[in-house]
Amino acid sequence: MTQNLKPQDREDPEKKLDLTKLKPYGDSMNDGKVQVSFTLPVKISLKAIEAAKYLAVKMGLRDPLVAHSQDLDNGFSFFIIYGELKHNIDYTNINVSAIDLEIMSLKEINNFIKKKFKRKLIVIGASTGTDAHTVGIDAIMNIKGYAGHYGLEGYEMIKAYNLGAQVSNEEFVKKAIEENADILLVSQTVTEKNIHVQNLTHLVDLLEAENIREGIILICGGARISNNLAKELGFDAGFGSGTSPEMVATFFVKEMDRRLNS
Amino acid sequence: MTQNLKPQDREDPEKKLDLTKLKPYGDSMNDGKVQVSFTLPVKISLKAIEAAKYLAVKMGLRDPLVAHSQDLDNGFSFFIIYGELKHNIDYTNINVSAIDLEIMSLKEINNFIKKKFKRKLIVIGASTGTDAHTVGIDAIMNIKGYAGHYGLEGYEMIKAYNLGAQVSNEEFVKKAIEENADILLVSQTVTEKNIHVQNLTHLVDLLEAENIREGIILICGGARISNNLAKELGFDAGFGSGTSPEMVATFFVKEMDRRLNS
Amino acid sequence: MIEKKKGDINQRSKLDLDQKKIESARKLANKIALKTQNVIEQYTTTSIERSVCRLLGIDGVDNYNVPLPNLVVDQVQRANKLEKGVALFIGNAMLSEQDSPQRIAGSISRGEIDITSLNFNDIDSIKRILINKSKERLNLIEKKSSQRQELLKKYGEKSGPYIYVIVATGNIYEDITQAKAAARQGADIIAVIRSTAQSLLDYVPYGATTEGFGGTFATQENFRLMRNALDEVSEELGRYIRLTNYCSGLCMPEIATMGALERLDVMLNDALYGILFRDINMKRTLIDQYFSRMINAYAGVIINTGEDNYLTTADAYENAHTVLASQFINEQFAFLTGLKEEQMGLGHAYEMDPSIENGFLYELAQAQMSREIFPKAPLKYMPPTKFKTGNIFKAHIQDALFNMITIITDQKIHLLGMLTEAIHTPFLSDRALSIENAKYIFRNLKNLGDEISFKKNGIIQKRAKEVLDKAYKLLEEVYSLGLFDTIERGIFAGISRNINGGKGIEGVIKKDVSYYNPFIDLMQKKLFRGDK
Amino acid sequence: MIEKKKGDINQRSKLDLDQKKIESARKLANKIALKTQNVIEQYTTTSIERSVCRLLGIDGVDNYNVPLPNLVVDQVQRANKLEKGVALFIGNAMLSEQDSPQRIAGSISRGEIDITSLNFNDIDSIKRILINKSKERLNLIEKKSSQRQELLKKYGEKSGPYIYVIVATGNIYEDITQAKAAARQGADIIAVIRSTAQSLLDYVPYGATTEGFGGTFATQENFRLMRNALDEVSEELGRYIRLTNYCSGLCMPEIATMGALERLDVMLNDALYGILFRDINMKRTLIDQYFSRMINAYAGVIINTGEDNYLTTADAYENAHTVLASQFINEQFAFLTGLKEEQMGLGHAYEMDPSIENGFLYELAQAQMSREIFPKAPLKYMPPTKFKTGNIFKAHIQDALFNMITIITDQKIHLLGMLTEAIHTPFLSDRALSIENAKYIFRNLKNLGDEISFKKNGIIQKRAKEVLDKAYKLLEEVYSLGLFDTIERGIFAGISRNINGGKGIEGVIKKDVSYYNPFIDLMQKKLFRGDK
Ligand code: B12
Ligand code: B12
Ligand SMILES: Cc1ncc(COP(=O)(O)O)c(C=O)c1O
Ligand SMILES: Cc1ncc(COP(=O)(O)O)c(C=O)c1O
């Protein structure tokens, strides 16, 4: 007969959430379940399946199950694998250089600028390099904005210039100097072969060469941009998918305030 | 202007297939691209996304991109990650205990049995333990077979008993002794919490306790069974998805021949 | 038998089905059911008697974890007196001992009393005390049922398909976590899958359980815990979340009883499942099914029948008509117990080999046909399972097609497919992805069903006609053979079972003329005459 | 303008569209195109002249990798004589030097000759030698075209949609690996995506290339290598695999030339794409488009227009009519160059926000409408892109719905969506999964389109009518404004461009009365009169 079990059994430490040893979750705490897929450039065979399994073991999967293998072409095989990850991480120790500000509203931002800086802020934005994707930068800058949020052009206390796409870093810096910009916004969508990293690094170099990097709040954004990456590349902040104009504006007015008034 | 490039550029060792350092393939040789997904038992946040990324790094992904994160419920978040695996494996060194036989046809198998053993072989099969899945064992044994291949019941030189499902190991062993079986076929489909491992191990123990393990060719099969696993558990062979009756029969007649005639 | 009136078919027939043939098929099915019913009513079973105990209020286990209902029934069976029904002995003991059924059962478990050897009181007094107790207990069930009605009134009924998902961690507390998450993600019905082979246990486990394989034990306490959790989340979401479990196997009527007492909303209830897939004796389970359906009917529970299962062993293209024939028979069996059409979640499944050309059209024909033939039934539609492989990406598409059929043909109880069907019982994320899949399709194709009609005599209409014709022929065959013979011949699911073989036959007992079960009478009066 | 006869619509209209309105819309579009054509014919461009060089056989690069056609045209432009067309100078030099265009270009590259300062021979002799050379070269193109016809005859044409996938590794050799794999998996058309921003280069790179971002450079050698590889795999599979590239941007007519010479089968060719998304000057690219479409027409190449792109920046529900209006205009522009309907892969796209209720019905309406209005055109249908996110599982379902619309409405050139659309250019496995998705849907729903009809005045029919009405109004507006003004006002894709702004305007040259381009004449005769 089955044993009776009481709620106390849930206290089993193996089955308790321990944030210092956070593990993936399939259907039970700490089961470590993960799904992996990849292609190997070898013909499908039992040996290829075994190879896929070994690679999964190297990734830290205990007992990996090759749930699916598929011939992609002579010489390529595709695998879908499930297994239990032996790795865990100390969640309490994770350091997100996240932009963790209370987001202000359009009105609050305008008031903040009026009160603190007593003038309009000058913002210049573009999708730089050979990148032709404008939808991201438009979402932040165009008055019609994005998902119901007005873009920066709609802010009374912001003078916004949206240069569009395919703007060379040189042109961009020239415009920044001409307009005496406070804030620069750079959008990057194409990231194949890390072309965005090259392009963003080049911009920082140019700004430094012109000796204007210090005086400017430099921000980048795009679907594959994270704040961590942005900081590594010498930007003040980076914003990814789902950014709203308010998020960016809150960041730069606070940052400006910090720089000027502290 | 672009540089001219000649086919020789393909000889770049970084871009060549090296079987001793086999890596996953996304769209270029050795790019190491893999896809991973898992759930973490924490609320969605930038910190959670960062945690997912770190776990991916622990798995050996360079530059992991959290392509998607999704709130599953207060306290659970789902992630889809792409990245470049730094691990590789020596493909030339992979050891598959694969059943790598030339598969014989029904006719060849019958002839082989006639010639070598001069009698019908006795095969008993079942889906054992509490497992109620019969489709797998039926595919191997029933005369109507599977995907156009006759099952073992259709072999002139095989006397096949299919005991069906939910057969206890005790009953199974009893029948094996009664019928003086040459070959035992065990099907296992349910594998949650490794119930199949327990059940298969128990069978081997019983057979050993009865002192008949040696005289029998012991084979298991099922969607999540591999030959490696089977051997670990003390079986002579294990067969996974897509097994045909001929594959199994080829194996056991050859194995029987090896045991008797060498 | 209830005949369908023309007006019942609120949707104009898109398939141009022969309405006369449907009517005749229904009549045949009714005759088949009646013929079987004659046999059924001559018998009781150990499990029916145990559920009489439970209905009378006996619950709990002894020191060896044996449930008290089992101990009580065992005592009567050992005395070879079960043919009279356990109720009379309990009623007699209640009179003699002036005690409650539960306390009498406690005495039995401690070996303090043998209720079969007590002097018999006046039969009318026995029946009177039993009827009083029974009414009191049935009131509890009615209360649960009204509570459901109130909650449904409070939150409002959902239009469109119910999204039905399973939880199967083996641990009721983990199941609760998963179930609540699923409800928040959009699920309307949570089914707690049972641990493998519970259907073969000839008793119901007791208490909260945390260890099961491929599912969690069905126990009354687990039912209660989960129903509470779902009530909480219903309140949070302002949406009534239904709870389902399996009322099949050797304890079918007991589980029906537990479910009635704990306000389960849907019960998988099908004798054929046990016969074909669990090798349970056919008489045992058909007899059990009769009593359990009556309980379900009484408790306002929707039953789900298991025709979908046939297609896991038989080919969906070749054997589609067996599903329809079985739906007709199941409908009649259900009517006989007092179940209303609105409680009949007749089963079918999307199980066509994905490599078949125009497979989607055949599935569409089948689903639309079920809808038109059983217009008021909340049909239970099962997802692709058999042809799922470890290719989770393809599996997700297979489920998308299935979701489409449901929204196009207006199925009601929609069991979501999982992209990992061929791999494991669902992860939290699998369920979330499947719910997202269904919600996306349901929203995006919302009115497609109203917008399209099918070509006269096209592939779809022809297919539906062909399936109906074949089902009709099969019903004729079943009628002439009888249901028991039909099963012996392996006509359903390609699996044949012997009338005297299978598990649980030792629990089938021919009723004596003196047999008495207070609940049958009371429930039937309410169900058929509307007595209060 | 070619008018549609009733009989052309081989499928009975499912949408009950107003045929008169369609006819009037077509007439309006014709007038719009003619009005623009008047302007177009007054100009040539540096890129047209460079393609005249290429057509005459000039190819290769100098030591700095500058293509010889650029050097030749630069020389003439520097002398301010491009208004006469480069051909006259080349023809003259051929006479004077008794040498081939290629060797003359070589001399120019080495600074050995200035073809603008040679004495002018008798104009008739110049034209005669040019016409001879041109005929000889056009013969080459015709041979390629017949070769395609022969191969198609040998392998047979595929019925049903062509499965179109892209390769974009940046490395032509890697592309070949991927393309062959894709063909074996079931692809019918391979498009080699160009490296980002190649459309802004005012020259065509040379030779085989192995470094590109988000795509591979379009070079004649890359075309040749890929066409060879696909011929190999076509032979292996017994199925003709088509090759596609982008014939847009600043080198539009040159790429058309290269494609004609290397037997490309399909060309993305749309001025609007360059104007709106690349900020290329509108005059420049419309003029270029005229000449390149003529070349495509001559070479039997199917063009794909870029209406789908509008919906990546404008909302698909609100702006569906801009797509239809543009298709009407593109059709007329194409007719003017001699393109046949069978070569017009007019573009549209599945880009409705997936959260819209009944979004699938609107997509169905749009696709069916395109099919009925352009019944002979091999419509090019683009997959969901804009609303794809990193959720690859959902993305795969979005693509499944898209695949359904294609099979239901009989689209011809079906560009497969990728589950990783929001992440990276396709991996080998992404493509395989997408092809599997499409093949599964196409097979499973094969005849669904023939089987269903739409409710009179239902959501679908109403939507199609509404879009047609709005498109008609827009065409009226465009006609009164003129195409240039329309673009200035941001009516397409919500993007506005200045008539004198944008890249490449410096390459637009007003033709002198003496302007001469032997190919226009020769091709037009063949295309419109069927001359040999
Ligand atoms: C629309 C689109 C196009 C349109 C662009 C039209 C236009 N005017 O922008 C067209 C059709 C022209 C196009 C062309 C190409 N595209 Co494109 N395109 C897309 C698509 C479908 C959607 C992008 C989009 O608009 N997203 C919506 C916006 C709102 O989101 P977002 O950009 O992420 O912006 C948000 C945040 O990131 C952030 N943000 C963005 N920028 C900034 C800047 C700052 C300062 C801040 C604070 C925030 C911020 O805020 C925004 C709002 O929340 C994506 C696929 C996809 N579904 O993502 C491919 C995609 C981006 N394209 C791609 C490619 C390769 C191309 C081409 C290069 C293909 C080719 N070789 O021909 C061409 C050429 C373009 C070029 N050289 O740049 C790839 C990029 C792959 C990669 N990882 O590098 C993608 C991912 C498709 C793919 N899988 O291949 N594309
Ligand atoms: C059909 C089916 C059922 C049918 C079974 C009918 C029957 N008579 O067999 C029914 C509906 C009864 C059923 C019930 C259950 N099922 Co079931 N079922 C499936 C399903 C859909 C298909 C399995 C199948 O038939 N495959 C086709 C056969 C031909 O393939 P195969 O078994 O792999 O066999 C091949 C090879 O493996 C090999 N082989 C197999 N055995 C042997 C033996 C030997 C000796 C050799 C050489 C080769 C060999 O050869 C065969 C031919 O190539 C799978 C999901 C799926 N798509 O895989 C779930 C699945 C197997 N079921 C599952 C579960 C959990 C159950 C239940 C326990 C659920 C519950 N709690 O109620 C119940 C109870 C069953 C029990 N106690 O065992 C899980 C198992 C999870 C796991 N990893 O443990 C699955 C994966 C579904 C899921 N995702 O939850 N099921
Ligand atoms: C009616 C019915 N009962 C029970 C079950 C399952 O389980 P078991 O027999 O393991 O309790 C199923 C499974 O599909 C079913 O359809
Ligand atoms: C007509 C056309 N040309 C060209 C391109 C792309 O590329 P690019 O401008 O980078 O060459 C597209 C992209 O969708 C297109 O539709």
Among chain D residues, the shortest Cα distance to B10 is held by D173
Distance CA C341, CA B156 (A): 53
Size (chain C), residues? 532
Residue C343 CA to ligand 3 centre (angstroms): 19
* Predicted pLDDT of residue D529: 77
D261 and D220 in contact (C-beta within 8 Å)?
yes
* Predicted pLDDT of residue C492: 87
pLDDT in tens, C297-334: 999 999 999 999 888 888 999 999 999 999 999 999 99
Q: Poorest-confidence range of C525-529, D127-131, D472-476?
A: C525-529
Interface predicted TM-score (ipTM) of this complex, two decimals? 0.94
pLDDT in tens, D235-271: 999 999 999 999 999 999 999 999 999 999 999 999 9
DSSP per-residue letters across A163-195 = --SSB-HHHHHHHHHHHT-SEEEEE----GGGH
Helix C392-409 to helix C428-444 angle (10° resolution) is 40
Structure tokens, C118: 């007590």
Contact partners, residue C164, CB within 8 Å, separation at least 6: C187, C188, C189, C190, C191, C244, C380, C413, C414, C415, C416
| Strands of the A183-187 sheet, one edge to the other | A158-162, A121-127, A183-187, A217-221, A237-239
Residue A135 CA to ligand 1 centre (angstroms): 7
SS3 label, residue A85: strand
Contact partners, residue B209, CB within 8 Å, separation at least 6: none
Find the mean pLDDT for residues C412-421.
98
Would you call A47 and B94 a contact, using CB atoms and an 8 Å cutoff? yes
* Predicted pLDDT of residue C408: 98
Please work out whether the CB of residue C249 comes within 6 Å of at least one atom of ligand 3: yes
Find the mean pLDDT for residues C474-485.
96
Q: Which atom of ligand 3 is nearest to the CA of C278?
A: 9
* Predicted pLDDT of residue C263: 98
Q: What letter does residue C525 receive in the DSSP assignment?
A: I
Structure tokens, D324: 């239809």
Question: Could you tell me where the DSSP H helices lie in D196-270?
Answer: 220-237, 252-261
Residues of A annotated as part of the active site? 144
Distance CA B30, CA B16 (A): 8
Contact partners, residue C247, CB within 8 Å, separation at least 6: C255, C256, C259, C267, C268, C269, C292, C296, C303
Residue D273 CA to ligand 4 centre (angstroms): 7
* Predicted pLDDT of residue A228: 87
Best mutation site among B138, B188, B190, B246 for ligand 2, i.e. most ligand atoms within 8 A of its Cβ?
A: B190
Q: What letter does residue A101 receive in the DSSP assignment?
A: P
Would you call C207 and A5 a contact, using CB atoms and an 8 Å cutoff? yes
Q: What are phi and psi of A43, to 5 degrees?
A: -65, 145
| Neighbors of chain B by Cβ distance (3+ pairs < 8 Å) | A, C, D
Contact partners, residue C132, CB within 8 Å, separation at least 6: none
Structure tokens, C63: 């020191």
As beta bridge partners, residue A62 has A84
As beta bridge partners, residue A239 has A221
* Predicted pLDDT of residue C2: 45
Q: Is the pLDDT of residue A15 over 90?
A: no
pLDDT in tens, B134-180: 999 999 999 877 778 899 999 999 999 999 998 999 999 999 999 99
CA dihedral D137, D140, D146, D147 (to 10 degrees): -160
Find the mean pLDDT for residues D322-337.
96
| Residue C310 designated active-site | no
Find the mean pLDDT for residues C203-226.
95
Confidence label for D499 from pLDDT (cuts 50, 70 and 90): very high
**Angle C186-C191-C195 (CA atoms, 0-180°, nearest 5)?**
140
Q: Enter the CATH code of domain C158-464.
A: 3.20.20.440
Please state the domain extents for chain C: 158-464
* Predicted pLDDT of residue B13: 67
Structure tokens, C228: 């509470």
Contact partners, residue D38, CB within 8 Å, separation at least 6: none
* Predicted pLDDT of residue B5: 41
Residue B247: nearest ligand to its CA?
A: 2
Which of B21, B86, B144, B174 is labelled catalytic? B144
Structure tokens, A168: 């060379």
Distance CA B199, CA B220 (A): 11
How many CB pairs (< 8 A) connect A and D? 56
Q: How many CA atoms lie within 13 A of B14 on its CB side?
A: 2
Q: Give the residue, by CA position, lying nearest to ligand 4 atom 3.
A: D248
Q: What percent of chain C has pLDDT over 70?
A: 97
Find the mean pLDDT for residues C157-172.
95
Residue C354 CA to ligand 1 centre (angstroms): 35
* Predicted pLDDT of residue D511: 98
Q: Give the residue, by CA position, lying nearest to ligand 3 atom 14.
A: C309
Find the mean pLDDT for residues C463-478.
97
D104 and D90 in contact (C-beta within 8 Å)?
yes
D190 and D244 in contact (C-beta within 8 Å)?
yes
Q: What are phi and psi of C309, to 5 degrees?
A: -60, -30
Say if B39 is an interface residue toward chain C (CB within 8 Å): yes
Contact partners, residue C124, CB within 8 Å, separation at least 6: none
Q: Which residues of C touch A28 (CB under 8 A)?
A: 169, 171, 174
Q: Which amino acid is at B112?
A: F
Q: Is the pLDDT of residue C532 over 60?
A: no
Q: Is the pLDDT of residue D4 over 90?
A: no
Q: What percent of chain C has pLDDT over 90?
A: 91
**Angle C428-C433-C436 (CA atoms, 0-180°, nearest 5)?**
125
Distance CA A185, CA D68 (A): 41
For C197, the closest of B70, B76, B130 (CB atoms) is B130
Q: Which residue do the tokens 């099914």 mark?
A: C289
First to last CA, chain C: 23
| Strands of the B183-187 sheet, one edge to the other | B158-162, B121-127, B183-187, B217-221, B237-239
Most confident of A93-107, C215-229, C484-498, D298-312: C215-229
Domains of chain B, CATH where assigned: 16-91 (3.30.30.60), 106-260 (3.40.50.280)
SS3 label, residue C415: strand
Find the mean pLDDT for residues C350-361.
96
Find the mean pLDDT for residues D32-58.
97
Q: What are phi and psi of C191, to 5 degrees?
A: -105, 125
SS3 label, residue D243: strand
Q: What are phi and psi of A240, to 5 degrees?
A: -100, -160
Please work out whether the CB of residue C268 comes within 6 Å of at least one atom of ligand 3: yes
The neighbour count for residue D201, using CB atoms within 10 Å, is 17
Residue D248 CA to ligand 4 centre (angstroms): 7
Q: Give the residue, by CA position, lying nearest to ligand 1 atom 48.
A: A221
Q: How many CA atoms lie within 13 A of B88 on its CB side?
A: 16
Find the mean pLDDT for residues C272-281.
90
Q: Is the pLDDT of residue A249 over 50?
A: yes
Distance CA D242, CA D237 (A): 13
Among chain A residues, the shortest Cα distance to D426 is held by A192
Q: Which residues of B touch A58 (CB under 8 A)?
A: 60, 87, 89
Q: How far is A218 from chain C (nearest CA, A)?
A: 38
Please work out whether the CB of residue D345 comes within 6 Å of at least one atom of ligand 4: no
* Predicted pLDDT of residue A144: 79
* Predicted pLDDT of residue B218: 98
Q: Which residues of B touch A60 (CB under 8 A)?
A: 58-60
Distance CA C270, CA C281 (A): 13
Compare C484 and A97 and report the one with higher pLDDT. C484
Q: Which amino acid is at D40?
A: I
Structure tokens, C494: 């390609």
| Strands of the D189-192 sheet, one edge to the other | D344-345, D302-304, D266-268, D242-246, D189-192, D162-167, D413-415, D380-382, D347-349
Distance CA A226, CA D239 (A): 46
* Predicted pLDDT of residue C280: 94
Element (H, E) at D109: helix D101-109
pLDDT in tens, B46-101: 899 999 999 999 999 998 999 999 999 889 999 999 999 999 999 999 877 656 67
* Predicted pLDDT of residue A8: 46
C126 and C91 in contact (C-beta within 8 Å)?
yes
Distance CA A36, CA B35 (A): 6
Best mutation site among A103, A144, A189, A229 for ligand 1, i.e. most ligand atoms within 8 A of its Cβ?
A: A189
Distance CA D291, CA D242 (A): 23
Q: Which amino acid is at C223?
A: F
Q: Give the residue, by CA position, lying nearest to ligand 2 atom 1.
A: C312
Find the mean pLDDT for residues C16-27.
97
Q: Is the pLDDT of residue A37 over 60?
A: yes
* Predicted pLDDT of residue B11: 57
DSSP per-residue letters across D19-40 = HHHHHHHHHHHHHHHHHHHHHH
Confidence label for D142 from pLDDT (cuts 50, 70 and 90): very high
Among chain C residues, the shortest Cα distance to A9 is held by C210
Say if C397 is an interface residue toward chain A (CB within 8 Å): no
- Among chain A, residues having any CB pair with chain B shorter than 8 Å are 17, 19, 22, 24-26, 29, 33-42, 46-47, 50-51, 54-55, 58-60, 65, 76, 85, 87-89, 91, 94-96, 98, 100, 224, 227-228
Distance CA C174, CA C152 (A): 27
Best mutation site among C164, C273, C275, C276 for ligand 3, i.e. most ligand atoms within 8 A of its Cβ?
A: C273
Q: Is the pLDDT of residue B2 over 70?
A: no
Q: What are phi and psi of D79, to 5 degrees?
A: -85, 5
DSSP per-residue letters across chain B = -PPP--GGGGG-GGGS--GGGB---SSSTT--EEEEEEEESS--SHHHHHHHHHHHHHTTEEEEEEEEEEEEETTEEEEEEEEEE---B-GGG-------PPPPPHHHHHHHHHHHHSS-EEEEEEEBTT----HHHHHHHSTT-BTTB--GGG-TTEEEEE--SSB-HHHHHHHHHHHT-SEEEEE----GGGHHHHHHHHHHHHHHHTT-STTSEEEEE-TT--HHHHHHTT-SEEE-TT--HHHHHHHHHHHHHHHHH-
Q: Which amino acid is at A62?
A: R
